Amino acid sequence: KAGVTQTPRYLIKTRGQQVTLSCSPISGHRSVSWYQQTPGQGLQFLFEYFSETQRNKGNFPGRFSGRQFSNSRSEMNVSTLELGDSALYLCASSPQTGRAEAFFGQGTRLTVV
Amino acid sequence: GENVEQHPSTLSVQEGDSAVIKCTYSDSASNYFPWYKQELGKGPQLIIDIRSNVGEKKDQRIAVTLNKTAKHFSLHITETQPEDSAVYFCAASTDDKIIFGKGTRLHILP
């Protein structure tokens, strides 16, 4: 069974640009969650999608958005990038929301210069 | 809001000794408590979990205990080895959401 695939693995962007990150969950998993990880801050929850609907949202500005497609693949978008957006962005897939094991991808390392 | 507190943030133990990481949670509706290990350059990996109807669970050198009354749960690693060096995250989950602790960086000293 293939794991969670995130692309690209690394990105370098300039302040003010926008970026789109992609996540392909494990086959059959309908829940995809996104997290931002920075040193010392742990895993900051961005949002969760289940069956193409956003179920939960973390405390991030509107520049961070996401969507989920009918095949459960998900994308997150960050517009008007700021230096502070530099982080590891992790995607996790689960067969259902909450209570279920979350399987993480390797993440996308975003650097904003 | 709901949160999960994890201690310590950094832990150094001699190889062969035991390591204990503790978490407390605030949402009494939490019923699932996974632990993740994150090695350098990788995403977190589930290593053990416990559900609210169980007080303790063991898998080889790793064990987790849960005290629902006190809203505490802990990870115990015995006979630590160099490959145990990593960042460990606890989490508490309800039916709707999962909240992670801030992580513990575990160093295994030779």
Q: Per-residue confidence at A39, pLDDT binned at 50, 70, 90?
A: confident
Nearest CA distance, B17 vs chain A (angstrom): 26
Interface of B with A in 27-66 (CB under 8 A): 31-32, 34, 36, 41-46, 49
Closest B-chain CA to A106:
B43
Return the pLDDT at B94.
86
Closest A-chain CA to B88:
A42
Q: Does residue A92 surpass a pLDDT of 70?
A: yes
Chain A residues inside the 8 Å CB shell of B99: 45
> Nearest Cβ partner of B49 from A97, A101, A105?
A101
Return the pLDDT at A99.
60
Return the pLDDT at A64.
98
For chain B, what is the radius of gyration of the CA atoms? 13
Cα gap A101→A110, rounded to integer Å: 26
Chain B residues inside the 8 Å CB shell of A107: 43
Return the pLDDT at A91.
96
Nearest CA distance, A7 vs chain B (angstrom): 13
Exposure string (b/e) for A66-102, b if CB count within 10 Å is 16 or more?
bebeeebebbbebeebeeebbbbbbbbbbeebbbbeb
Return the pLDDT at A98.
63
3-state secondary structure of B98: strand
Q: Does residue A1 surpass a pLDDT of 70?
A: no
- Give per-residue pLDDT as tens, A79-88: 999 999 999 9
Which segment of A40-49, B4-13, B26-35 scores lowest on mean pLDDT? A40-49
Q: What percent of chain B has pLDDT over 90?
A: 85
Nearest to B42 by CA among A16, A4, A51, A48: A4
Chain B residues inside the 8 Å CB shell of A101: 34, 46, 49
Return the pLDDT at A56.
86
Mean pLDDT in chain B?
94
Cα angle B2-B7-B53, degrees, rounded to a multiple of 5: 60
Nearest to A27 by CA among A76, A78, A95, A106: A95
Cα gap A84→A55, rounded to integer Å: 26
Cα gap A71→A14, rounded to integer Å: 31
Mutation to test the A interface, candidates B97, B104, B105, most A Cβ within 10 Å:
B97
Please check whether residue B13 touches A, CB under 8 A. no
Chain A residues inside the 8 Å CB shell of B44: 43, 90, 104
CB contact under 8 A, A107 and B32: no
Which amino acid is present at B13? V
Q: Does residue A67 surpass a pLDDT of 70?
A: yes
